[in-house]
Structure 1
Amino acid sequence: MTMTKPLAKRVAIACGGTGGHLFPGIAVGDALVARGCEVTLLVSPKEVDQTAVKSAYGMDVEPLPVVGLSGNLPKFTFRFFQSLGHCRKLFREQRPSVVLAMGGFTSAPPVIAGKMMGAKIFLHEANAVPGRAVKLLSPLADEVFVQFPDAMSGVSGAGVRATGMPVRATMEPIPKPDARTVLGLADDQPVLLVMGGSQGAESINQAMIDALPRLAKSLPKLQYIHLTGNRELNPVREAYDALGLRAVVRPFLTEMEYALGAADLAVSRSGASSLAEFSAMELPAILVPYPAAVDDHQRLNARTFVEMGAARCFHQKQLTSKLLLTQFRELFRKPNTLKKMSEAMRRWKADQATEEVVQRIYEVCQWENPEMDDLFIPVPKPREVAA
């Protein structure tokens, strides 16, 4: 097969594995498509990826074999080279000018394949501590973007820029009554959002189930949005139904702007993408970092938000129904406290993160300024589609 010439603006974005990698990648992809670029999302075959990419308008989607660094070195090596071969074949057919990797070992094969073909390489590190993939791949990169300025010192071999975290264009504050109405909730009653990241969190789910009977008595007007992950949907839903509580219980929600817009408070892991979206939507949070996260990065992510006064943080060992009940009683009975936390959360908001990433890609590639493009393709927002 003959190698095609690279298009002036063809970008491959490696962003599979978790929502924390995928949604920022889609955000950048949306902005690039709107400027006339051809964008391919390289994702995993996981259900969360395949569900989320349904909101990726105007982009091609290519699943890659999952590459995860684990104790099974032969399996990792086989899948790595399988994925690398898939990327090289794809790039021969549709040669990219740019490969942007959003972190995780799924990023490695596209970055290496892209480098071999002369593409410009960009990485984005979302966490307060750079991950192993970004550390290993950074010498190949033309530029590395980070969300947390403290992460800059952990990246070597490339220009490093603190941009914040790209978030989807729909992540902007919505009037709470409007968001609640869309989800079928009462528009004038408080809402608690419970989530464990894109794949759920068993410990958070169980602590909430245990807290619900007393919570229903203490805060009878409280409404709930609970995103359980795929494995625990039924027992969580049954717990709410048994108490007759008004709750939206789903495994996963693609249009997260409605859930974040409807809520007054979130209970969540402290993944980098979730924190950036909380900030964009000015939503205070109780954070329970995933204790097995590499380099304890979720705790370090959370620390920044606790120090700002935007969140409270508890170790998973502290997580009990009694703790949740105490926190919810205090916060929902003191609206001024929630308001101050919301105002603090707003201070982390990186309104221009997506635009800054796109602008740097254009500058490094010496493409014309995005504002000067002749071709502009408007990307429909989910709210517009739903309407």
Structure 2
Amino acid sequence: MKILVTGGGTGGHIYPALAFVNYMKKDPENEFLYVGAKKGLETEIVPAAGVPFVALEIQGFKRKLSLDNLKTVQLFLKSINQAKKILKEFRPDIVLGTGGYVSGAVVYAASRLKIPTIIHEQNSVPGITNKFLSRYVTKIAIAFPDAAAFFPTEKVSLVGNPRGQEVEGMQPNDGLIAYGLKVAQPTVLIFGGSQGALKINQAFREALPELKKRAYQVLYASGTRYYEQLTEEVAALPQGSNVSIQPYIENMTEVMANASLLVGRAGATSIAEFTALGIPAVLIPSPYVTNDHQTKNAQSLAKAGAVTIIGDSQLDGQTLLAALDDIMDHPEKQKAMAAAAKVQGISDASTRLEKLIKEMI
């Protein structure tokens, strides 16, 4: 089977796509081509993963009236024509789009060429690209049941997020030693993404003196942009062996498998990972995302008892400490949340997506 995958702009679009590609590589006869945007993260991530890659020049719309939007329309129309050439050369059996503006051009072009198409929506509230494409694609795969309300019912299938299936089954190991922490001690993992999150960083700084007194240990990834300033600010504070501050955690899923509790934003990829591993979480949805979809992501898990939510505007050192202690000091609650998280995770997302695709071609 020849599979063309497209999606980009953020890791939330890229990593599920690559997870599915990795899963489909189990059949050596499958062929892949990934189409991304020239200025997207995918230009680095996809080739590094060993997947054939082609880039198109495209950009997103500005939220305010701008002459740049005229250029956006021109690039979109141009990229559709470029995408048609790529499709005619590669001749895929199926085109899978995971979101981002480049996905809009490629999947739309494929639909015009009568190639079977499917989009994957990772969030509870779909982005503008997938809303647009829903009218043209053959099938729509979703990760959250709430997303179904935004799409034509007859096209929708709940499959989950392929990233979850990729990390499921990872076992605790001695990876925490590399960060100066103990293997057997209960661990809270706090992070705000590769660049970090200012509000989470400030709350951690406020909570740090008290965190050093706790029986549990904390691994904090500040993000590269905040690391130097943070380490300078805390240098004069009493040092505690139970707290490790890092700029970035390269092997995040491996470290995640060793965590007792997660604290971070409510992005779709992170959710897929910690629910697949069965880890409770304290989620702080980012208020800066389209349609506030992170809040909707988090709310669906909170209803199931898998996570605690702290609003970004309510986050400070005290609310962070209170949320951590409420879970870490109550083993039965932690256990119940972990079980609820595991139930919410869909452990066979790639398998479901593969089955759906085979039914289409």
Secondary structure, counterpart of 1:176 in structure 2: coil
Matching residue of 1:6: none
Secondary structure at 2:59's aligned position in 1? coil
Question: Are 1:247 and 2:244 counterparts?
Answer: yes
Counterpart pick for 2:152 among 156, 177, 184: 156
Q: Letter of the aligned partner of 2:228 in structure 1?
A: N
Q: Is the 8 A contact 1:146 1:163 kept in 2?
A: yes
* Post-superposition offset of 1:332: 2.2
Summarize the Cα distance change of 1:118–1:127 in structure 2 as closer, same or farther, 3 Å threshold.
Answer: same
Does 1:222 find its partner at 2:214? Answer: no
Q: Cα–Cα, structure 1 residues 223 and 14, in superposed 2: closer, same or farther, change >3 Å?
A: same
C-alpha change, 1:98 and 1:199, in structure 2 (3 Å) is farther
| Aligned position for 1:118 | 114
Matching residue of 1:65: 57
User: Of the candidates 195, 201, 206, which is equivalent to residue 205 of structure 1?
Assistant: 201
2:91 maps to 95
The CA deviation string for residues 69-116 of structure 1, in whole angstroms up to 9 with x for no partner, is: 323322422442353344234334323222101123231011122223
| 1:69–1:76 Cα contact (<8 Å) kept | yes
Residue 348 of structure 1 aligns to which amino acid in structure 2? Answer: Q
**Matching residue within 306, 324, 329 for 1:328:** 324
Residues 203 and 315 in structure 2, CA contact (< 8 A), matched pair in contact too: yes
The CA distance in 2 between the partners of 1:80 and 1:338, in whole Å, is 48
State which of 206, 212, 227 in structure 2 corresponds to 1:233. Answer: 227
Against the structure 1 CA distance between its residues 282 and 45, is the aligned structure 2 distance closer, same or farther, given a 3 Å change threshold?
farther
DSSP 3-state at the match of 2:123? coil
Deviations 1:37-71 (A, max 9, x none): 111223345675455436634x2123343532323
Quickly say closer, same or farther: Cα 1:345–1:241, change in 2 above 3 A. Answer: farther
Identity %: 29
What amino acid sits opposite 1:172 in the alignment?
E
Alignment partner, residue 15 of structure 1: 7
SS across alignment from 2:135:
helix
**Change beyond 3 A, Cα 1:343–1:169:** closer
Q: CA deviation at 1:159?
A: 1.4
- Residues 1:185 and 2:181 aligned together: yes
One-letter amino acid matched to 1:129: V
Find the aligned partners of 2:57 and 2:235 in 1 and give their Cα distance: 39
Note closer, same or farther for the CA distance 1:238–1:119 as it changes in structure 2 (3 Å cut): farther
Equivalent-residue separation in structure 1 for 2:10 and 2:92 (angstroms): 23
Structure 1 range deviating more: 104-113 or 44-53: 44-53
Aligned residues: 353
One-letter identity of the residue aligned with 1:345: A
Contact 2:96 2:117 in 1 (8 A): yes
- Closer, same or farther in 2 for the Cα pair 1:251/1:63, shift >3 Å? farther
Unaligned stretches of 5+ residues in structure 2: none
Structure 2 residue 326 is matched with structure 1 residue 338: no
Q: Judging changes above 3 Å, is the alpha-carbon distance between structure 1 residues 94 and 238 closer, same or farther for their aligned structure 2 residues?
A: farther
Structure 2 vs 1, CA of residues 351 and 175 (structure 1 numbering), >3 Å: closer, same or farther?
closer
Q: Secondary structure at the match of 1:41?
A: strand
Residues 130 and 170 of structure 1: CA distance in aligned 2, closer, same or farther (over 3 Å)? closer
1:299 aligns with 2:295: yes
Q: Name the CA shift for 1:344/1:120 in 2 (closer, same or farther; >3 Å).
A: same
Pairwise CA RMSD: 2.5
Q: Deviations over 1:113-155 (max 9, x none)?
A: 2223332110111111222211211121111011122221210
Superposed, 1:347-366 pairs within 5 Å as 347-365=343-361
* Counterpart Cα distance in 2 of 1:83 and 1:239: 48
Q: 1:96 to 1:146 in 2, by over 3 A?
A: same
Asked whether the 8 Å contact 1:197–1:274 carries over to 2, the reply is no
Q: Quick one: distance in 2 between partners of 1:206 and 1:63?
A: 38
Distance apart, 1:28 and its partner CA:
1.0
Any conservation in 2 of the 1:289–1:298 contact (CA below 8 Å)? yes
Q: What is the letter of the counterpart of residue 251 of structure 1?
A: Y
Match of 2:32 in 1: 39
SS in 1 for 2:337: helix
Structure 1, unaligned stretches of length 5 or more? Answer: 1-8, 366-387
Question: 1:20 is matched by which residue type in structure 2?
Answer: G
1:43–1:61 CA contact under 8 A, matched in 2? yes
Q: TM-score, normalised by structure 1?
A: 0.82
- 8 Å contact 2:9–2:37 — kept in the other structure? yes
Q: Say whether 1:147 aligns with 2:146.
A: no
CA distance in 2, matches of 1:120, 1:274: 29
Alpha-carbon separation, structure 1, partners of 2:177 and 2:128: 43
Q: Secondary structure at the match of 1:96?
A: coil
